[in-house]
Amino acid sequence: MPLAIRETQRRSGSGQSQSTGTKEVVIVGAGPYGLSSTAYLQDAGIDPYVIGKPMAFWKQSMPGRMLLRSRIEASNIAAPQKHLSLAAYQRTIGRKLQEPLPIEDFIAYGDWFQGQVAPNLDERQVSRIAFSDDSFEITFEDGEQIRSKRVILAVGIGLFSFRPEQFSSISRELAPHSSEVTDLSRCRGKRVAVLGTGQSALEYAALLHENGADVVILSRSSEIKFRPFAWRKHLFRQLTRGPLMGLSHRIIPPTDLGDIRTARKMANPDLFKRQAPEVQEQLIRACTRPIGAYWLAPRLQDVQIKTTVSVTNAEVSGPTLKLALTDGTNEEVDMVLLATGYKIDIARYKILDSSIRQRIEQTADGYPVLSMNLETSIPGLYLAGVVAEKALGPTLRFVTGTSNAGPRLAAAITGQPVCS
Ligand SMILES: Cc1cc2nc3c(=O)[nH]c(=O)nc-3n(C[C@H](O)[C@H](O)[C@H](O)COP(=O)(O)OP(=O)(O)OC[C@H]3O[C@@H](n4cnc5c(N)ncnc54)[C@H](O)[C@@H]3O)c2cc1C
């Protein structure tokens, strides 16, 4: 039966107490997935209670002046309401956004989107989610509690940051994970080693270099790779604009992942799920392999790169850090930036009470087992975002996957098929 519930929203930061009673749906997370899910649910007649700091990960864990790796057509925070698209946003601000999209523009778009769908969201941190008496009990950092029949957890990738073992005893000042460094000006004049060769590592290296740091990239791979500009796709889109756009997107999905053979399997969760498990793995791995965007290559021309090396030992030496490398050489640096990515592990969901966490069915490698509607093995608890990439495919690692998550969450919660 379709639900039509209108919740009273707490004014963020106002300190007013909100309505009591059990809520129908609570969304924890106000990044692309939380905001997109809000839009889909509202379109289906449900106004969820939204918690989170708007676009917090983008504001606090990514560097200023970063350019999005995803093309504009793959950077929509999906919504059934057409007035929430990036195209509509461009019309609103009266300016065409540049490609590649600067992070500042994407954050402004996210904040604008939030203003439309959840202007009064609750910005408090959730400290615990437990289950009792047929509903979820959500406890805020200030001790206040609310209850909800269903919870959508869209808390992002940040809690899965991966620190290699060699750096476990080194301070975060000397060896921060890339998600802990946003202000690169503090590295001016310093020797900085960047560990990793994915898009993040290469972009941090370029930005650090442009900020006056003396950068060395340390890579396990034998070469640094850059994805060439997809000029065939670009040309195809140019030739199939306007009324042909629907057809154009059916032939080459706007998800900006994969190539002509794999793009549709990656874009469409049903098609993804029909692949053999090893093919699903390959499709996911193809989207996370270390490679930089084409526009990074010229920016890294003057940056020192050491390939086929890894760090065997890291030792604090006065104010600096001494890194022993597998090729027998040492690097003495002021800081090492661990652009070592993220490793999904459901045990990291510390806000979930252990009694819930332990009941969530998991894959052998720590992902939650989810239905095609993103429901965990605990009825009423849904997980959206990167944790769902094994369930719906690699789009879920990126903003573009919001178009796969939102309709499915809304369908699951309303019990009605929802148009994407
Ligand atoms: C360096 C970097 C660059 C990237 N570039 C791109 C790109 O160009 N294109 C692309 O598509 N993807 C990119 N990604 C991936 C992108 O970050 C994710 O696709 C996207 O942010 C996922 O959105 P989300 O809503 O799941 O989570 P997030 O954006 O991480 O949002 C998490 C939300 O949860 C809230 N939250 C977390 N914990 C709590 C709590 N305990 N209580 C209350 N609220 C909480 C936060 O306040 C926040 O609102 C990039 C990732 C990185 C690391």
Q: Dump the DSSP string for 364-398.
A: TTSPBP--TT-B-SSTTEEE-SGGGHHHH-GGGGS
Whether 210 and 239 map to the same domain: the answer is no
Task: Name the residue among 172, 205, 209 with its Cα closest to residue 189.
Answer: 209
Verify whether ligand 1 is closer than 6 Å to residue 26 (CB atom): no
348 lines ligand 1 (CB under 6 A): no
| Confidence band, pLDDT 50/70/90 cuts, at residue 418 | low
Does 419 fall in a domain? no
Same domain, 35 and 98: yes
Averaged pLDDT for residues 76-88 = 97
pLDDT at 119: 98
Both 33 and 180 in a single domain? Answer: no
CA–centroid distance, 240 to ligand 1, in Å, is 32
pLDDT tens, position by position, 245-292: 999 999 999 999 998 899 999 999 999 999 999 999 999 999 999 999
Cα of 236 vs centre of ligand 1, distance in Å, is: 31
Do 202 and 85 share a structural domain? no
- For all residues of the chain together, what is the average pLDDT? 93
Is the CB–ligand 1 distance for residue 125 below 6 Å?
Answer: yes
Nearest CA, atom 27, ligand 1: 156
Q: Are residues 50 and 134 in the same domain?
A: yes
Residue 114, ligand 1, Cβ within 6 A: no
Indicate whether 280 belongs to any domain: no
* Percent of the chain whose predicted confidence (pLDDT) is above 70: 95
Residues 95, 171: one domain? no
- Give me the residue label for tokens 């009470």: 353
Whichever domain contains 211, its CATH number is: 3.50.50.60
Q: Are residues 363 and 388 in the same domain?
A: yes
Is 420 part of any domain?
no
332 and 248: one domain?
no
Quick check: 233 pLDDT over 60? yes
Tell whether ligand 1 has an atom less than 6 A from the beta carbon of residue 69: yes
Is 200 found in the same domain as 123?
A: no
Indicate whether 283 belongs to any domain.
no
**Domains contained in the chain, number:** 3
* Domain assignment of residue 378, yes or no: yes
pLDDT value, residue 21: 86
Beta-bridged to residue 375, according to DSSP, are: 382
Q: Mark whether 19 and 149 lie in a shared domain.
A: yes
- Please tell me if the CB atom of residue 36 comes closer than 6 angstroms to any atom of ligand 1: no
Q: Residues 328-372: pLDDT tens digits?
A: 999 999 999 999 999 999 999 999 999 999 999 999 999 999 999
pLDDT reading at 5 higher than 50: no
124 CA: nearest ligand 1 atom: 43
281, part of any domain: no
Using CA positions, which residue lies closest to atom 9 of ligand 1? 70
> Longest C-alpha distance within the chain, in Å?
67
Please tell me the distance between residue 143's alpha carbon and the centre of ligand 1 in angstroms. Answer: 25
Q: What is the predicted pLDDT for the residue at 420?
A: 58
Determine which residue's CA is closest to atom 33 belonging to ligand 1. Answer: 29
- The secondary structure element, H or E, covering residue 321 is strand 320-325
- Atom of ligand 1 at shortest distance to CA of 35? 25
Q: Indicate whether residue 50 lines ligand 1 (CB < 6 A).
A: no
Answer whether 34 contacts ligand 1 (Cβ < 6 A): yes
Tell me, using a 6 A CB cutoff, whether residue 290 lines ligand 1: no
**Does 385 lie in the same domain as 347?**
yes
Last residue of a domain, one of 299, 323, 338: 338
- Predicted TM-score (pTM) of the model is 0.94
Q: Say yes or no: 202 and 305 in one domain.
A: yes
Give the C-alpha separation, 169 to 315, whole Å: 9
Whether residue 155 has its Cβ less than 6 Å from ligand 1: yes
pLDDT of residue 17: 37
**The pLDDT of residue 417 is above 80:** no
For ligand 1, the distance from its centroid to the CA atom of residue 114, given in whole angstroms, is 14
Q: Is the CB of 53 under 6 A from ligand 1?
A: yes
Tokens coding 135: 């509903």
Q: For residue 16, give its domain range.
A: 5-160+342-414
Q: What is the pLDDT of residues 209-219, one digit of tens each?
A: 999 999 999 99
Last residue of a domain, one of 338, 356, 377: 338
Torsion angles phi and psi, residue 276, rounded to 5 = -60, 150
Residue 285 in any domain: the answer is no
Tell whether 282 is covered by a domain.
no
* DSSP per position, 327-359: TS-EEEESEEEE---B---GGG-TTB-HHHHTT
252 Cβ below 6 A of ligand 1: no
